[in-house]
Amino acid sequence: MKFVTLKIFLFFLFIVSLKAQIYLDPNATVEERVDDLISRMTLEEKVGQMTQAGRSFLNSENDIRDYFLGSLLSGGGSSPNPNTAESWANMYDSYQNQALSTRLKIPLIYGIDAVHGHNNVKDAVIFPHNIGLGATRNPDLIRNAAEVTAVEVAATGIDWTFAPCIAVPRDEKWGRTYEGFGETPELAELAAVAAIYGYQGDSLNEQKTIAACAKHFIGDGGTTGGIDQGNTEISEEELRAIHLPGYLKAIEAGVGTVMASYSSWNGQKLHGHYYLLTTLLKEELGFDGFIVSDWAGIDQLPGDYKNDIKESINAGVDMVMVPDRYVEFITFLKELVNENQVSIERIDDAVKRILKIKFELGLFENPLTDRSLLNLVGSQEHRNIARECVRESIVILQKKDNVLPLRKENQKIALIGKGADDIGLQCGGWTIYWQGGLGDITEGTTLLEAVKKNTDHSNVIFSENGEDLSDTDIAVIVIAEEPYAEFEGFKEDLTIPDSDVELVKKAKEAGLKTVVILYSGRPMIINPILQYSDAVVAAWLPGTEADGIADILFGDFQPKGLLPHSWPKYMDQIPLNIGDAEYDPLYEYGFGLISVGNSQFGSSPLFYSANVDKEKNRVVVTFNKQIDFNSIANSSFTLLGENNFISNSTSVDGSLDSNSILITFDEYVETDIKLSLEYVSGSIKSIDGGLLIPFENKVVYNSSSKADIHTIPGKIEAEDYYAMSGIQTENTSDVGGGTNVGWIDNDDWLTYKINVQTHGTYQLNYRIASQSQAGIIEFSEGSNVLSTTLLPVTGDWQSWRTVSTIVDLQKGETEYTLKAVTGGFNINWFSFDLLVNVDENNDNNISFKLEQNFPNPFNPSTSIEYTVPSSEYVRLKVYDILGNEIAELVNEHKPQGNYHVEFNAERFPSGTYFYKLTAGSYREIKKMMLIK
């Protein structure tokens, strides 16, 4: 009887206990549940909730339970093996079960940088980066993209994304420019609301919604000089006017979390800024979610680590991202509370904010992955939405008539540049790895594949280097920034690289129409390519669905994209933003052509480009449509340099290109002076009768950049001279088309700037034609004649033959001259083939070199390359962050040469490692990061 009574009593106590646990009652209000739970928590449990550890830095999964960790995160590239959605779900549930085994069963909240899709997960859909979404100006589409991302993130169990970034980038040198939606607070407002509603839906407690994180509070896009994690030196009035509006809208939209910025405001780090984090954000704006630090962000505060913790928590940071120092953080924070340096009230406020979001997410009721969503990851439905985002993000910067749309029949299309068939370049940074990667790093459609879908495969060729373009009608050249993220993307010079300029130039000289597609995370300086292009398209970093680009190129849809940034003419204009007192961009903020078809019949011709020709007193001006050369005679132009008058035009003539005119001035201009052109008067018309409207301040390309320097071994087009005397150019019927140099008389000459990469003996090949007279050509450096070659008669001015001789060339950059000792011949090109490499026998011309490992970060293996200039004993060792040697990769004599070695870190934990090359007196150390 007593036993039965005891059982009844214990059962009664159990029921009473359950009823008393309000925090486990889903019918109680969130406030009631938070208050009940925090009343039950020890200091250790509270501090654990404020701690976010990096999954790859966990000493053991048991640490989640033993330290009551409130959150984990995956940094860029921190993924399970294999990197599949199902593996992510399994990993998440394993971690969550550890949290649920604690006394109070408080679930984890797991954070990830899903910033353009679930971009850490292989084969998830990758959307355009935010700069592209900003170009759409379409809040419904931005919301749709965020909704898809939320579903794919939720399918892997994860409940929190560190997005959207609502920075307002004001200096395009900043390596995170593409993470913002554009240069104005209005774009940040529009996109913030759309993205937050997309991630969070109408309720966080839904199967397909996740918590959003507005970042990086505040002013990260306004740092002086575009320095990442730098100092934003502006008044509070400017800070509020430019960088605050997006956060106001985010809070109105109910954003759950806000991330503090690495940057400083007028010298004070944001992670320790009480006024901005607490007074402004929490009190004035009424933000009731929680503030999370950035990755090891508190470490940048002055003082020791314990002081960093005190300053950041007291300033208002609620959860601290301490990827690898979580034990140290927990120990110090408990000490600070016990020493009354951090109040228990501040701790309770932080924990309440964190618990509030966890309850709103429904984590206490549904802590584990909903695996019914897994089949949606990378689904065609989701890819269709991404394709639409790409399509609407495309900005047509300029184009000539009769170029676009591409034809689906009866046109042979060349795709040029490695970006045309490279998913990694298409997606940019924050894709699978923190810094992104190259090649087929995830599932998607490249532009080459997208173009092939729209036409017969036999009509499409791919040429990475622009070779073998015969029988091709049009070239689509993809110029792509190498992937980067954060500070790795800072650039002092955003000019299109010379190698890419050469690709466009090569296609144009082959007689093709040229469409340039830019894959970039910001506006680039494109003046060097304009003279060789027929259309220029900003595609930003479009992600995995290049079908959206093809939709525009083939005219199935008309372009809608508008520039989210002002597009500068020159680097020294940056920072350049709408509203500046001196505002003179190449393309204004909000610009974008809205048709790929021809201009309206009879419409005014539009200025396309201008460049100084080789005579230095003539400017070639190109328009979007053909010009009636009968209308140009009495027109007048003015050339200015650095905004100062240089010369009025003395004559205006037609050009070989029917879209161009040739303006002669009575003054020669110095190379690299910034030139601008004014159309003062005249009656220039297009062939369809459109009258050219007078214009001013049009940029004239005038550079002696590396694009004008020819590198050999290689081929040089004869018309690409630096200076000349006596010759003219004409169209050629030789293979490859383009133009040749002709009308060569005795003593005419051409000078070229040539960079000889290797000292050696070369075969010099001339491509010549001669109707009836044998010529003699001299090749010289200054007064030193290197070769004299007899040129045979070929029987016609366009009957071409290659003639060869031998020359010895020194390494370096200098000017070489071709002189017609006896004229009467044409020359199309000349080339140099290396026969004997003198450098191979000269150790002094090769130096030791240790390359950066690739990929970096890596998991589990990476490749290290190094160069040895002469036979030497080589040691290559790997060390951990404490300086302990953990691996010896090389320990032997090596002959001269280039080497690479693989380092497999499968048995080592995530973290920072160093590798050191020792060879004779040479020493070099580099850093790499392993993220598992």
Tokens of 288: 């009731």
Look at residues 464, 521, 636 and name the one whose alpha carbon lies nearest to residue 182. Answer: 521
- Entry field: residues in the chain: 932
Find the Cα–Cα–Cα–Cα dihedral 49, 50, 51, 55, rounded to 10°.
60
CA distance 325 to 293: 14
CA distance 406 to 447: 13
Task: Identify the DSSP state of 279.
Answer: I
Tokens of 681: 């008067």
User: Which alpha helices (H) appear in 288-343, and where do they start and end?
Assistant: 305-315, 326-338
Find the Cα–Cα–Cα–Cα dihedral 695, 697, 699, 703, rounded to 10°.
130
Three-state SS across 104-127? CCCCCEEEECCCCECCCCCCCCEC
Q: Could you say which of 159, 294, 324, 547 is catalytic?
A: 294
Tokens of 480: 């792509």
Helix, coil or strand: residue 807: strand
Q: How close are the terminal C-alpha atoms of the chain, in Å?
A: 60
DSSP states of 752-803 as a string?
A: EEEEE-S-EEEEEEEEEE-SS--EEEEEEETTEEEEEEEE---SSTT--EEE
Residue 479 phi, psi dihedral angles, 5° rounding: -110, 120
Three-state SS across 230-265? CEECCCHHHHHHHHCHHHHHHHHCCCCEEEECCCEE
Active site residue 294: yes
CA distance 932 to 150: 23
Neighbour order of strands in the sheet with 264-265: 231-232, 264-265, 268-269
Counting Cα atoms < 13 Å in the Cβ hemisphere of 152 gives: 32
Task: Identify the DSSP state of 839.
Answer: G
Task: Give ∠ CA 909-930-883 in degrees, rounded to 5.
Answer: 70
CA distance 298 to 315: 11
CA distance 489 to 449: 28
Contact, 635 vs 662, CB < 8 A?
no
Helix, coil or strand: residue 91: helix
Asked if the bond preceding 568 is cis, omega within 30° of 0, the reply is no
Task: Identify the DSSP state of 136.
Answer: H
Q: How far from the centroid of its chain's Cα atoms is residue 63's Cα?
A: 37
Tokens 């003046």 correspond to 527
Find the Cα–Cα–Cα–Cα dihedral 819, 824, 830, 835, rounded to 10°.
-80
Task: Give ∠ CA 123-127-130 in degrees, rounded to 5.
Answer: 145
Q: Which residues contact 62 (CB under 8 A, 6 or more apart)?
A: 98
Task: Give ∠ CA 879-884-887 in degrees, rounded to 5.
Answer: 50
Asked if the bond preceding 107 is cis, omega within 30° of 0, the reply is no
Which residues are identified as catalytic?
294
